[in-house]
Structure 1
Amino acid sequence: MEPDRILSPDPSTSKSKPTESEKEKFIEWEDYEHEVARLWSLSSSLNESKQKKQNFEQKLRSLIQVKEEALSRLNKLEEMKERVEARKLVIERIKGQSKVAAENSTKEEERLSSEVRSLLVAGTALSVASKQLQDSRRSLAGERGYVRLTKLQKKLRLRQQFMISQVSLLYPIKISAGPSEEQELESFPSSSKSGLNLTMAPFTKMSFFTDKKEVQRSASALGHVAHAVSLIASYLEVPLRYSLRLGGSNSYIIDCAPSVESSDLLSSTMLTANTKPVEFPLFLEGQDTTRAAYAVFLLNKDLEQLLNYIGVRSLGPRHVLANLKELTRTIQSAEFLDS
C-alpha cells in the first residue's frame, strides 16, 4: 500500500508564505476517491459559473449598448423637441404679426371702400353732367352741322349734275322704238345732238357674213357707252365692279374673278386661267361673238351698279342704252339733289 499523497501547492510557484488554510493536508486513501469526486464537482461548478459569468457579461454589454443607443436617441429627441418648441415660438410670433397685419389690412380696406364709394358717387355725378353737356353741345352743333352737311351735299350733287350734263351733251342718247329688247344700240357723235340710230342684231346671231359697216357702228357705239359709263362712275366716285380699258371702237371690259357660269361661255383655253383677270372685247371684228356678247352683259352690269347707287332699278340686262339714259335722266332731275 502506497503512502498517502500530499496535496499541496508547488513550493516553487508560491510567492508568499503559506497560510494556515494552505497548509498541507493529508488525505487518507480511503477518502481519496471521494475527495477527487468532490474536487471534480467543484471544478465543474466553477467552469459553469465562469460560463454564466461570460454570458452575463455579454448580456450586460448588449444592455449597456442598448442603453447608450437609447440615451443617444433620447438626446436627439430632446434636441428635436427644443427645435420644435423654437419653431412653435416663431410660428406664434408670425401668427401674431399676421393677425396684426390682417387687422390693419381690414381697416385699410374699409377706408379704401369708403373712398371708392365716394369716388363712384362723384364719378356718376360727373358722367351725368358730362353727358348733359355733350347732349347740349351736340344738339347745338348738330343743327349747325346738319345744315352745313346738307349744304355741302347739295353742292356736291349740283357739281355732279353739271358734270353728268356735260356727258349727256357729249354723248346724246336717242333710242328708237322696236319689237325686240336686243335690237338697238346707238352712236353718239359729238357733232350732233340728235344722234344717229344704229340698229344692231344680237351678237350671238352675227357671223362672218355680217355687214362690216354694221359691225364697225356697233363697236363705235359700245366704245362711246363705255366712255360715258367710265366718266359717270368717276364723277359719282363709284369704283366699277368690272373696270374698263377704253380704246374707242376697240375697248375692253375686265372681269377680275370670272364665275363658273361665265366661264361656261369661254373657250377651253380660258377655263385654265379663270382665276386671273380676263378682258372681253366690246367689238366683234376678229372676235368670238360669245365673248363680245358677254362683254356687253358686263357693261350693263356696271350700269346696274350705278343705278343701284342712286336708288334706281335697272330696266333689264339687255337695255344698255335705256339704262344709260335712265341713269343720266335721274341724276339731272330735282329729286337727285334731295337724295
Structure 2
Amino acid sequence: MASKPARPSPQPDGFVRRDRPWLLPTNRKLRNLVSISLRNLSLSTPLPSRARGKTIDDDAIPNNFKSPAKLVALREQKALGHSRSSSDLRGSLKKVSEDAVEDGDSEVPAHANGSPTKPKERVNGSPRTPQRPSMARMRRRSTLEWANATPQRRQEKLENVTAERMADVFFSVHVQGVEEPVYVSEVVERTMNPTFRHMDWSACGPGVTRLDHLTLRFWVKSSKMGDWRQLLELSLGLQSLHYLGKSLDQFHHALPQNAVIFYLTDGVYTSFASLSDYAPPPTAPPAARVTSARILPTSSFDALLRLAKLDDSIQDALQTRNKIAADLEALLGANNEALTERDKVAEAEDRQKTIDYAKKTVDKQLDKARRQQEEKRQLLQTRRDLMTEDTSDRTAKGGEMEEAKPELPNLRDEHDVKKKAIQNQRRRICEDLQRCYPIQPVTGKSLSFTIRDLHLPNSEDLDAEPPDIVAAAFGHVSHVVLMLSFYLAQPLPYPVSPRSSNSTIEDPISLLKTNSSTTYKDERALRTYPLFTKGVPRFRFEYAVFLLNKDIQILLESAYNVRAVDIRQTLPNLKYLLYVATAGEGELPARKAGGIRGLLRTKAEGTPDLSRNASSDSASSALGGLLWHGGQHGNGKAKGAVDSLKRNIGGLDSRMKKAG
C-alpha cells in the first residue's frame, strides 16, 4: 500500500506563513518589471509624527489616582505642543495641587476623570476634610476655526487642502550607458496615489531588458508650481527589492510617504529606501513547513543544456537579423541616387497627369466662355437692330407726337374730371345698393346687425339664429359682395354664387379634402362650399363663411386700404365697407335717363366715349354684372331676360329716333 503523506506539523508561535516569490533575486531583470506606482504622495518635508485621535496634553491628564507631585513630574516631562483645545485642564489641576500643599496635604485624592477633590474648610484649626468629587466631566471647547462655518466655507477649505496635496505625476527610467531615458510614463493628473500603465519594453533591445540596475526619477507639478519639479530619485538594483506579496490586498501595513511600489511578474515589491519602517513577519523554519510524500521533479542537466543552446540560437538569430538590417542599410545607401531618381520620375509623371487634367478643365471652361460670348454678341446685335428700328419709327412718328403735345394738358384735365365722375358714380351706386340691402344695428347688442330685417350673427355664434334665416342672410351678403366687386373693379379671390338661401362660394386656391362618405362628381364640386347648413357637413359651411369674410376683408384692403380688425364679424365689416364706399365730397350726381342705351351704343361702336356721363358707367357695370352672373350659372332664364332687355332697348332707340 502506498504510504500516506505526512501531516503538516503545527507552526511555531511567532511565525506567519508567507508566499514566496517565483523569481530568484539574481533573475530579476528589467524585462520582468511590469508597472510602478507611488503611494502617499507628499510635496513637503514630513513633520514629526504624533498619535492621532488625542492632543499632546491629553497624556498629562491622570486617568487613575495620582498625587500632585506626579502631576508636576508629568507636566515637566512633556513640553507644551499643538493642542486642538482652547483651554488646558492642567491649570485647574495646578490650582488644586497648590491649595493642597498650602494645607499640608501630601496627597490629594482625584476623581475618576483625573480631577482632584476639593478639601473642606477647617473648623477650629482642624485640618479640612476633602469633599466628595463631582460626577461632571471636565470638558474643553473646540478651537477648529471652521467647525461652525458655512458649508461653502468648509467646502472651500477642503478643496484648498486637496489642491495642496494633489499633483500631476510621471516617472522616467534611466540605465547606465544611455543618456536618454529608456522609458517615460504617461502623466497622471491630480492624484495622491498614482498608478501607471503597464510598461512596454518592445522598443528596447536585449542589452537594456537584461539589466538589473536602474535609476528611477519621479516628476511632479502642482497648482502652485510653475513648472515640473523632480520629487524623488532612486538608484537601486532589482536584486535588493523586498517582496510584499502577490498583491497589495494581502498587505495590511501603513505605507510611508512617497512609497514606491514595483510590480514584477511574480508579485509586488518595494525598496527599503521607500519602506524603511516595514519589518517583514518572520517565516517558519524548514521543519515547520508542510511536507509531502510526493517528490517534485526539478530541472535536469539536459534541460538546462537545451535552454542554454536555445538561448545561443536566439542570440545568433538576433545577430543575423542585425547583420541583415545593416546590409540592407548599406545597399540602400549605395543605390540611394538611383532610388531618388526613380522617385523623381514617379513624381514627374504624377505632376504631368495633374497638368493634363488641369489643361482639359481649362479648355472646357474656355469653350464654354466662347459660346457664352457668342450668344451675348448675338443678343447685343439683336438689341442694336431693334433700337435702330425703334429710332426710325420714332423719327417717322415724331411729327404726330409734336402735333399731339398741345392737347396733352386738355386730355389730363379731362382724365381728372372723368376719374372724379367715376368716383361719384360709385358713391351713388353704393348708396343705392345700401338702400336695397339695408344693414341696421340690433338694439341692445354691440356689433350685431340685420340685413333686410334678417339677423345674421357673427361667425363664432352662428347657431344663435335658425338655419333658414342664417342661410337667407348669407344669400343677401353674397349678392352685395358680388355687386361691390363689379362696381369697385376688384376681382374676388373666392367667387360667390348668390342663390338666395342656397348660395355657394368657390375656393380655386386650395383644396380641402374630406373623409366623409359624400361623393363629388368632379373637382369643382369639391371646391364649392355651401353658405347653408341643411344637408351638408358642418365644416364645409364654416369654411364657406370664412371665405366670404376673406372676400370682404380683401375688398376693404384692396379698394380703400382699410384694415379689418376681425374678419369673423361679417355684417359689421360689410357695413363698414359700404360706409367707406359712400364717403366723399360734394353731392351725389343724379341718375340720367338712357344710360343703358348709351352702354349698348358704346359696345356696338367698339370704343367707349370718355365724355359720356357717369350714369352710363354705372349702367354698364350693372349690366356687366348681370351678364357675368348669368354666364356663371348658365341659367336659361337669365339669358332670356338679357335678350328681352336688348329688344326693349332697341325699341326705345327707334322711338327716340322717330321723336327726334
Q: Quickly name the TM-score band, shorter chain normalised.
A: 0.3 to 0.5
The two structures have a TM-score, normalised by structure 1, of 0.48
Larger relative helix fraction: 1
Larger relative strand fraction: 2
The two structures have a TM-score, normalised by structure 2, of 0.26
Higher gyration radius (CA)? 1
